[in-house]
Amino acid sequence: MTDIRPSLTLLGLGAMGTALARAWLAAGHPLTVWNRTPARAEPLAAAGAVVAPSAAAAVAANRLVVVCLLDDASVGAALSGADLAGRDVVNLTTSTPAQARARAAWAAERGARFLDGGIMAVPPMIGVPGSGAYVFYSGPEDAFAAHRDVLAVPAGTTYVGDDPGFAALHDVALLSGMYGMFAGVAHAFALIRREKIAARSFAPLLSGWLTAMTASVTKAAEQLDVGDYTLDVVSNLAMQTAGVPTLLSTAEEQGVSPELITPYLKLMERRLADGHGDEDTTGVIDLLLR
């Protein structure tokens, strides 16, 4: 029987690149790989990958070239000697939106179509059905459509538009939201840390509360899109800001630095001082825009 699974090239065999490679190999895709340090390719050769002697040779092997390297500079270094004409380059290396746009223009000058990707997963989630792993893609829609099925093998795909910077922007926006949540979680655990409260008994209360509060994401979006930050407000900014001294005094009593939560609380106070006490906390977003 003829194998009709499309072949592809993968540059970069770090933790993520190796996980991607294993997923494509397991699904039966002929795969050519290259890595700056050749020893990292050996286990993949044993699993059926063709190991190219150079990045240029790997690029020459297939129309679809997936790149998963450390950063944008390493992408430039790896691809500098390759002929990209007629190639579809899919860059899963974490970049800023500006780097992705510049890299797309750079690839276009060399005759390639360019999709940028932002991976929302860690390596153990790759190629695992139901893990929740997915990748944001942006760039030319026809290029995405041409390779959607191959790209969907290691993780789900979410196309976010033809602007090549959008995948990176969505990726970094979600990660930023995550770190904001991690900051709140760290502060909450610090508050109980010196008491006779087991972290593992507190954890379900905290995660349950945070899960319930995620409804605020949808409401804030509605308020932003409508342009009315008083829309469906339940606990307005004036009411919420009245609780700031209690939050700060409790941190003081517990011997906990407020440094993680103070920036947000100060923005709430500024927005209130600007006369927006009847709004939701959504108005804080306007204070962040330079």
**Per CB under 6 A, 89 contacts ligand FVH:** no
How many of the chain's residues bind ligand FVH (CB under 6 A)? 22
In angstroms, the CA 39 to CA 72 distance is: 23
Q: Residue 82 phi/psi, 5° resolution?
A: -95, 150
| Binding test (CB under 6 A) with ligand FVH, winner from 30, 123, 258, 277 | 123
Q: Residue 212 phi/psi, 5° resolution?
A: -60, -40
Least separation in angstroms between residue 285's CB and ligand FVH is 26
**Per CB under 6 A, 131 contacts ligand FVH:** no
| Binding test (CB under 6 A) with ligand FVH, winner from 27, 70, 108, 220 | 70
**Per CB under 6 A, 98 contacts ligand FVH:** no
Tokens representing residue 267 in the block: 């923005």
**Per CB under 6 A, 78 contacts ligand FVH:** yes
**Per CB under 6 A, 35 contacts ligand FVH:** yes
Nearer to ligand FVH, 8 or 284 (CB): 8
Sign of CA dihedral 13, 15, 20, 22: positive
In angstroms, the CA 229 to CA 114 distance is: 38
**Per CB under 6 A, 127 contacts ligand FVH:** no
Question: How do the residues of the chain divide into helix, strand and coil, expressed in percent and rounded to 5?
Answer: 55, 10, 35
Q: What value, to the nearest 5°, has the Cα angle with vertex 283 and ends 285 and 169? A: 20
**Per CB under 6 A, 51 contacts ligand FVH:** no
**Per CB under 6 A, 74 contacts ligand FVH:** yes
The residue ranges that bind ligand FVH (CB under 6 A) are 12-17, 35-37, 40, 68-71, 74, 77-78, 93-94, 119, 122-123
